[in-house]
Amino acid sequence: MNEQLPCTSYHSERLKERYWVYQHPSGLQIFIFPKKMTAAYAIFGTKYGSIHNRFRTEEEQDWTVVPDGIAHFLEHKLFTCEDGSDAFERFSDYGADANAYTSFNKTCYLFSCTDRFEESLGELLDFVTHPYFTEESVASEVGIISEEIRMYDDNPSDRCFYGMLEAMYAHHSIRRNICGSARSIARITPDLLYRCYHTFYRLSNMALVVCGDIKDDQVLTAVNRHLPAVARKEPPVLCADENEEESPRVFQAYKEQRMQVAKPIFNIGIKDTDIPKDSALRQRKDAAMAILDEILFSRAGSFYNSLLERDLISPALSYGYSISQTTAYNSLAGEADDPAAVLRELLAYVRAVGSNGLQEEDFRRAKRVMYAEFVKSFDSTDSIANNLFSFFCEDSELLSYADIIDSITFREVCELFETAFCEEAITLSVVRPLDGGTEEFK
């Protein structure tokens, strides 16, 4: 244990898990989760994703507006170093498997390894903290990412999902592809990349998460070697709260696209603009909605089995609730000859449950399932690290989520059900075969 840095220990007697958070003088938070496993896993990430396209500091009056896709573009460019080398190659030399991803609200750089951990960690810290952009390198990256955008545009599942978001939200930037568009990324310049980097890649907005059979001193020594010992004094950054611009109603009730699919696929989205400002309340709502979804839509339930027995859906029906600081929505996705019929069945089912009430036995089963799934997530270093970073982005604490699940009451879930399925907040996104007939949506 390193006594020189402020440190907080988090422990769950219920889960038999523990981790430590160090506050580095650079401003970086360092999460170390010891786990006796073969592979170690590390994430160096920032609270910056595709939705953060309007921002300003507290000292500025005007908003800075940047092109869609710039967070993802920045993620790509950081791997190219000033000497022309590629960070991926050095990770490969160390025997580490490196990757990165950009989501709606975060960007993460990561690696896993079974050996030479300190060298890989040093490389991770180095390349992320040393940006280098030129007009030539940015121009060449535009072509590469344009191909990636075309690949996603040709993926029916991706197009159906984004069709749901486009229909659900009128203004929020979550409705636009994380990669941006060919038109938007063509407007990206080195100056804009540096502006976004210095705004969001300040160490006080970032975290390092390490999980595995790693000693604290291994991590802290590497951090001290590669990061500054003093935090930069910078004014806080404000991002536009686009949830405030949204109506509880969906933008469109129905969106249809045509692609090369053998059978229609669908995403049903239920918009939720009632997002608690307090992170603890958001986590509680997340847990309660997860339990409610398990009651209503699991394979053990009557809704799924009724649709399957009547051949209204294919077996693979997925569902889930997503909530962050400015977005929240519920969704169901699957494959069906008549997606509009599935939506009608859903609305009829919700009305029937509203009349008859939820069953406490179903609640207890669903709660056990959600608790077991959370416990299972501690079986792998990558799940632990990614979950830790996600909770960091939400200003929440990971281990206490088990207690939140356990404390959710039947009454709480019943009250949530009363407001969770307003018909004006529901949209249907469908991708139909190119040669399919036209189905009337009602």
The residues that are catalytic are: 75
Cα dist from 366 to 112, 118, 224, 372, whole Å = 33, 42, 45, 10
Please give the backbone phi and psi of residue 210, each rounded to the nearest 5 degrees, phi first.
Answer: -125, 135
Neighbours of 184 (CB within 10 A): 19
Give the integer Cα–Cα distance in Å for 271 and 174.
12
CB burial of 106-127 (b: ≥16 within 10 Å; e: otherwise) equals bbbbbbbbeeebebbbbbbbbb
* DSSP β-bridge partners for residue 111: 42, 98
Q: Which of these, 304, 342, 313, lies nearest to 439 by C-alpha position?
A: 342
Cβ-contact 377, 312 below 8 angstroms: no
Cα dist from 374 to 48, 228, 282, 299, whole Å = 25, 36, 17, 19
Cβ-contact 53, 122 below 8 angstroms: no
Give the integer Cα–Cα distance in Å for 54 and 365.
43
Q: Which of these, 101, 99, 107, 102, lies nearest to 46 by C-alpha position?
A: 107
* DSSP β-bridge partners for residue 259: 433
Q: Which of these, 1, 19, 290, lies nearest to 9 by C-alpha position?
A: 19
52 CB contacts (<8 Å, ≥6 apart)?
A: 71, 105, 200, 239
Helix (H) or strand (E) holding 222: helix 216-226
Give the integer Cα–Cα distance in Å for 108 and 125.
12
Cβ-contact 27, 41 below 8 angstroms: no
Length of the chain: 442
Grouping H, G, I as helix, E, B as strand and the rest as coil, residue 18 is strand
